Each structure stands twice: as C-alpha cells, then as structure tokens.
Chain A
Amino acid sequence: MTHRGRSAPLGDHRLRGLADEELMLELARGDADAFDLIYERHSDAAFSLAYRICGTRVAAEEVAQDAFLALWRNGSRYEMSRGSVRNWILGIVHNRAIDALRRAVRHETRRAGDEGLAERLMAPDRTDLEVSRREEAGAVRGLLADLPSDQRRVIELAYFAGFTHTQIADMLSIPVGTVKGRMRLGLEKLRSRMEISGVLT
C-alpha cells in the first residue's frame, strides 16, 4: 500500500527525491502524493501548451484538468521506453487540446484568443532543471524558426492550430501530398538540427 493521507502533502522527502519515472510507478498504484509531485513539476508546461492551442484560459484549464485526471486514472499506461514523463504529459495535453479545438469548430464556438498579454503570466523557474528546460525550449524555438517557412507553416498549422492535412491543403491551395511531404521534410530537418545542436541526446 502506498497511500498517504492529507497529512503528507508535498512534503514527502522520499517521494521528492524520486525521478518522474519512479513517481509514475507510485502514481499507478494510486498514490495521490506522487500525483501531487508530478503535477507540481509539469503543470506549468502542460497549461502553457493548452493555453497556446486553445487560446483562452477557460478552455486551457478544462484541457489541463482533463489531461491530468487522465494521467492519474491511466498512469499505469506510461511506458518509460517510450519517452519522458514530460513528453507523455504534453502529448496527452496536445491531443485533448486539439480535440477541444475541433469540437469547438463543430459547435461553431471556436473562440479567438480573447485574452491579452496581461494573461500571460510567466511561470517562474523554480529549479536548475526548469532553467535548463527553458534554455532548451529557446534553442528548439530557434531551430523551428530556422526551418524553411513553407515547412514550418504546415507543422504549426497542424500541431498548434489543429488543422488536418486536407484542411491545410485547402487553405494553402496545394495538394495533400505536398502538405504531408513538407511536414516530413520539416520534421526530419528539425530532428537532425536538434541532434547537431545537442538538444537531442
């Protein structure tokens, strides 16, 4: 049994010393304290992505809540061999944010970003790890910006705006095959530049 009650929220040194992957094992056994720590470590990144895709705070909160509850309930599905916990969480957030965006389009309630920069409260860097993650994110942003614009555009329209390849083909008046080809070329280039720059280890 790994449950602890409310008496030990966030303060459990044994859990604090664990890596994400080890915390996921505890979480899969129903340990709410392990969830607390995973949430603490990744909620800002998850919320940031949800906010970037959904464009409103309300929608981003729904998506982030949906994603973290799915993580809690299906934590046993995490497989270390398939990547970091952070990427797994961001993958869940991405899928759910895109689903929300597409459903909003179907219900014709897709909201334009209705909040200004004032809403964009910068998340503080709490640890060295977060500082290095932010530096890495900046490096990747640079690599993404350096992609040929036609390749970057199809990647961004799909990943951040939730458009399907056929919708993108219609928008840009190019064949679907060209859209998919540009996606592949762009991702291959991004990956190889990540490797060269040491972002991908």
Chain B
Amino acid sequence: MTDIEPDDTVDARGAACPGPLMDLIGKIRSAESGDVIRLLSDNDQSLTDVPEWAEEAGNELLAVEELDDHNEFYVEKA
C-alpha cells in the first residue's frame, strides 16, 4: 500500500475506455500545480493510457497500485 495522500480522487470504475483517462484529465485540468490526483479504474487499458498521457503532459505518475478488482493511479500535476 502506498502512503501517498491524494488531494482528490476520481472514481472511474465501470467506465469504458477512454472514460477513465478523460476523467483524470478533467480533474487535473481544474487542479493546482503540485496536487496529487488518485484515479480508480477497472479498465486494463488505463495501465497503458495513463502512463503515456502523464509522460506526454509532463505530469508525474507517482505510483500505480494493482488491486484485485481495480487499479489506482497517483498522478501529480506539474
């Protein structure tokens, strides 16, 4: 378990691709620089989508936790 404390959480479980990534982008859009957003997604595509976008946008993917029924992504806004 990570001990990162997110500033906000997006629960995109149940959303089809590209919903989780778009939900994350929407939250990052309104976040402050340095804020950490936690994305909950049960769509496997997020495992590639989210790191690719985070790198492209210059945001840092701090951690990915792979749980039984979903994954949690911690992204810090640059």
* A and B assemble together: no
Please give the residue numbers on chain B whose beta carbons come within 8 Å of chain A beta carbons, in ascending order: none
Please give the residue numbers on chain A whose beta carbons come within 8 Å of chain B beta carbons, in ascending order: none
